[in-house]
């Protein structure tokens, strides 16, 4: 347990992976559906806006795996645990992740310097969990700028009772029995007290929970944006990271941890500024030249208990 002094808080409760409920990838998806049914945005509706900053990340086999947000004409902010494939392709600016918008290859991945995959497999307090995530952010650089307008980072962090909206693609029921939609889903929800989420850092993360306790983000929503404000004046205030409780069922609905980009604004802006001033490299595999790691490489399947 981590607590006090603005550090990690929350009491560990016995359950499956502390955060893997929100990761994506084709191979992982099948394993999760078999072992612990999951989905993406549950209880959402089709997108009502263009959300041209919205990004879809695809793995080296072309499977949709994560979301992201365009924060600069050639940079997308996503979750650190979304950067495992050898190659990543990004589609920006389309509510249909199968077509439209701008498609780019990723030429560089920069994980947050304090991104940590904490191994708790030998900790008796975590009977089913093997890993926890901290500072779960990464910036991916596109091979050329896009014409879509980036979303601004929030100027201040969201506080409990703030109205927010989460965006993502994926299956829309708790047990993965329905097809994943091609159309972007949105869910209006709210920020809640940090104590509602287990194992989070209130200085780095946000906790969000739907008032009905029957709607939430989940698998393949990882890295996607939590936004606030009105249409035409949206701000990025969260990045989908991990499950916020350890209840065995339901897997996804309930509290969810979002990494707070406002708390990491200095790293985001400095990375974009420093890297963009350099010469644009040729497209390379994400784990090859130009891949800057902040923690040991892990595939999402490393975080699953079969």
- Domain definitions of the chain by residue range: 20-294
Report the CATH number of the 20-294 domain. Answer: 2.40.10.120
Judge whether 151 and 69 are in contact, CB under 8 Å.
Answer: yes
Task: State the CB neighbour count (10 A cutoff) for residue 48.
Answer: 11
Q: What is the pTM of this model?
A: 0.79
DSSP per residue, 92-132: ES-SBTTSSSEEEEEEEEEE-TT-EEEE-TT-TT-SS--EE
The span from the CA of 79 to the CA of 77, in Å, is 7
What are the per-10-residue average pLDDT scores of the chain (306 residues)?
A: 30 30 36 30 86 97 95 98 94 97 98 92 71 94 98 96 92 65 90 92 95 80 95 96 72 87 98 68 40 43 34
DSSP 150: P
Please report the pLDDT score of residue 212 as a whole number: 83
The two beta strands, 225-230 and 205-208, are unpaired
User: In whole angstroms, what is the distance from residue 12 CA to residue 40 CA?
Assistant: 24
The pLDDT of residue 185 is 93
């Amino acid at each position: 347990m981590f607590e006090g002094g603005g550090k990690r808080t929350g009491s560990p409760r016995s359950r499956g992976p502390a955060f893997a409920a929100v990761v994506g990838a084709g191979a992982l998806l099948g394993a999760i559906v078999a072992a612990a049914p999951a989905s993406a945005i549950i209880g959402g509706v089709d997108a009502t806006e263009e959300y041209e900053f919205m990004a879809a990340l695809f793995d080296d086999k072309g499977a949709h795996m994560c979301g992201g947000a365009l924060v600069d004409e050639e940079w997308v902010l996503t979750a650190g645990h979304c950067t495992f494939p050898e190659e990543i392709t990004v589609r920006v600016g389309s509510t249909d992740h199968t077509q439209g918008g701008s498609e780019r290859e990723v030429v560089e991945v920069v994980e947050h310097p304090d991104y940590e995959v904490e191994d708790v497999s030998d900790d008796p307090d975590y009977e089913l969990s093997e890993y926890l995530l901290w500072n779960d952010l990464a910036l991916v650089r596109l091979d050329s700028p896009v014409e879509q307008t980036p979303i601004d980072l929030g100027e201040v962090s969201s506080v409990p009772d703030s109205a927010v909206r989460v965006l993502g693609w994926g299956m829309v029921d708790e047990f993965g029995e329905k097809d994943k939609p091609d159309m972007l889903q949105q869910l209006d929800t709210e920020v809640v007290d940090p104590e509602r989420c287990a194992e989070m850092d209130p200085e780095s993360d946000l906790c969000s929970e739907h008032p009905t306790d029957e709607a939430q983000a989940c698998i393949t929503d990882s890295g996607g944006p939590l936004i606030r404000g009105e249409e035409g004046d949206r701000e990025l205030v969260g990045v989908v990271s991990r499950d916020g409780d350890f209840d065995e069922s339901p897997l996804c609905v309930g509290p969810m941890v979002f990494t707070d980009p406002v708390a990491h604004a200095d790293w985001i802006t400095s990375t974009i500024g420093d890297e963009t001033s350099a010469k644009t490299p040729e497209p390379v595999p994400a784990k090859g030249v130009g891949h800057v790691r902040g923690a040991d490489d892990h595939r999402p399947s490393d975080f699953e208990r079969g």
